[in-house]
Chain A
Amino acid sequence: MLKEVNSEEFKELAGKGLVLADFFSTTCGPCKMLAFVLKDVEKEFGDDLTILKVDFDQNKELTAEYGVSGYPTLILLKDGTEMKRLQGLQQKPVIVNMVKKHI
């Protein structure tokens, strides 16, 4: 599943299973291209991975809570615990390998 969420929805979904949080900005080019990559990542994992997209500018408290200072930032959560963090536009194989290690 790939879904854009607000802070409340994020908190509801982030503690369940394997979640890849994508903190993005609508004004950021690398964020837009990461969205392109994440669509392919979603196809690869199907129901095994939930991808939650969080608008950095609309969810300031949540980004502060997770210590996100720049974008795009990817945080992999397993049952709510941070397993890995990647900053900037990432290669699809890097994201896929990171997720596979925690499935």
Chain B
Amino acid sequence: MAQYDLIIIGAGPAGMTAAIYGARADMNVLMLDKLAPGGQIINTNEIQNYTGVGTVNGAELAYQMFEHTQQFDTITFDYATVKEVVDNGEEKLVRCEEDDKEFTASSVILATGTRPRCLEIPGEDKFRGNGISWCAICDGAQYRDKDVVVIGGGNSAVEESIFLAGIVKSLTIVTMLDLTADPIACDKLRAMDKVTIYPYQDILEFVGDTRLEGVHFRSTKTGEEKTVNCDGVFEYIGLTPTTECFQDLGVLNQFGYVEVNDRMASKVPGIFGAGDCVTKNLRQVITACADGAIAAQEASHYVKNLK
């Protein structure tokens, strides 16, 4: 079984930055991801707030980050879905689902990010992937000149709504509160003529027999109920941490996020966290990269102290 100084679970911006910093600190690094490198940013059409690069496509930035990691001979990338991390003191065991793959390392950085949250209301399972989507840039094209509903009012909802409004016949935004995204983006969306916004609504049900036909919701202010007919729905109601496989490590808070200190260290020696899956206020590419750098630096200090 291969032995590493550092295993990084998750190859998003946090994980890839940690890999680079880990390699530069003379560590032998294994970076694992169940999908391709990139994490959530591959679903982002335009990133406009990563310092120094202006506007960049998310997948292109992910590619550039990955190519940067491959400049180091001491970084290995492998496709694996981690099912468990076992803390055996100075050695950490990482168990994967594929072919019972197992790896060991002196330190581990948890950088598995988040995934979109679901509403869990009637009709959602029935139309999942067939009328209801979580990725406008993947599935938006099939709704050209059709009626679409976006659920949510945060940054993702508003940014993706602006993208969709350029494609669809009509766009209805239904949100539990008001729009809470950056004011500039909200103003841009409100000014678009195809767009109707219903704030302060409880989403009750997705309606339809064999295909999605509409969304039923109720005002939290007046109690009035309404159904908007549509061909497709995009949900952007927040994120949930992808940390189920770390449950037994005892490093998660009640919401499933990895609890870390200002050095990205969890309460288990040698286990660190970075990126969207840790407790923090601002989940952005740039803060994920910063987390990764700090976590790898601390991991290198930890590993050197063991030797």
Asked if A45 lies at the interface with its beta carbon under 8 angstroms from chain B, I say no
> Are A88 and B37 touching (Cβ within 8 A)?
no
Contact A91-B34, Cβ < 8 Å, known A29-B57, A30-B42: yes
> Are B63 and A71 touching (Cβ within 8 A)?
no
Asked if A28 lies at the interface with its beta carbon under 8 angstroms from chain B, I say yes
Residues of A within 8 A of B141 (CB): 25, 56-57, 70-71
Per the CB 8 Å criterion, the residue count for chain B at the interface is 28
Residues of A within 8 A of B59 (CB): 28-33
> Are B138 and A36 touching (Cβ within 8 A)?
no
Partner of A91, one of B58, B81, B129, B142: B81
* CB within 8 Å of B: which A21-44 residues: 25, 27-34, 36-37, 40
Q: Smallest CB-CB separation from A73: which chain B residue?
A: B138
Residues of A within 8 A of B129 (CB): 87-88
> Are A30 and B138 touching (Cβ within 8 A)?
yes
CB proximity of B139 to chain A, nearest CB, Å? 4
> Are A36 and B37 touching (Cβ within 8 A)?
yes
> Are B45 and A91 touching (Cβ within 8 A)?
no
Residues of B within 8 A of A31 (CB): 59, 138
Contact A89-B44, Cβ < 8 Å, known A28-B137, A70-B141: no
> Are A32 and B60 touching (Cβ within 8 A)?
yes
Q: Smallest CB-CB separation from A89: which chain B residue?
A: B35
Q: Smallest CB-CB separation from B139: which chain A residue?
A: A70
CA–CA, A96 and B60, complex, Å = 25
CA–CA, A25 and B60, complex, Å = 14
> Are A29 and B98 touching (Cβ within 8 A)?
no
Residues of B within 8 A of A28 (CB): 59, 137-138
CB proximity of B224 to chain A, nearest CB, Å? 34
Asked if A92 lies at the interface with its beta carbon under 8 angstroms from chain B, I say yes
> Are B42 and A89 touching (Cβ within 8 A)?
yes
Asked if B274 lies at the interface with its beta carbon under 8 angstroms from chain A, I say no
> Are A93 and B98 touching (Cβ within 8 A)?
yes
> Are A29 and B35 touching (Cβ within 8 A)?
no
Partner of B135, one of A30, A32, A34, A57: A30
Asked if B79 lies at the interface with its beta carbon under 8 angstroms from chain A, I say yes
> Are A70 and B45 touching (Cβ within 8 A)?
no
CA–CA, A88 and B138, complex, Å = 8
* CB within 8 Å of A: which B8-39 residues: 34-38
CB proximity of B84 to chain A, nearest CB, Å? 17
Q: Which of B34, B45, B79, B133 has the most CB of A within 10 A?
A: B79
CA–CA, A33 and B38, complex, Å = 8
> Are B36 and A37 touching (Cβ within 8 A)?
yes
Contact A37-B35, Cβ < 8 Å, known A27-B137, A29-B44, A93-B98: yes
CA–CA, A27 and B41, complex, Å = 14
* CB within 8 Å of A: which B129-164 residues: 129, 133, 135, 137-139, 141-142
Residues of A within 8 A of B38 (CB): 29, 33
> Are B137 and A32 touching (Cβ within 8 A)?
no
CB proximity of A48 to chain B, nearest CB, Å? 19
CA–CA, A30 and B141, complex, Å = 14
What are 20 A-B interface contacts by the 8 Å CB criterion?
A: A27-B137, A28-B59, A29-B41, A29-B43, A30-B42, A30-B43, A30-B138, A31-B59, A32-B62, A33-B35, A33-B37, A36-B36, A36-B37, A37-B36, A37-B79, A56-B141, A70-B141, A71-B141, A91-B35, A91-B79
- Residues of A bordering B, CB below 8 Å: 25, 27-34, 36-37, 40, 56-57, 69-72, 87-93
Q: Besides the contacts A33-B59, A34-B36, what 14 more A-B pairs have beta carbons closer than 8 Å?
A: A27-B45, A29-B59, A29-B62, A30-B43, A31-B59, A31-B138, A32-B63, A33-B42, A36-B36, A40-B79, A70-B141, A90-B35, A91-B79, A93-B81
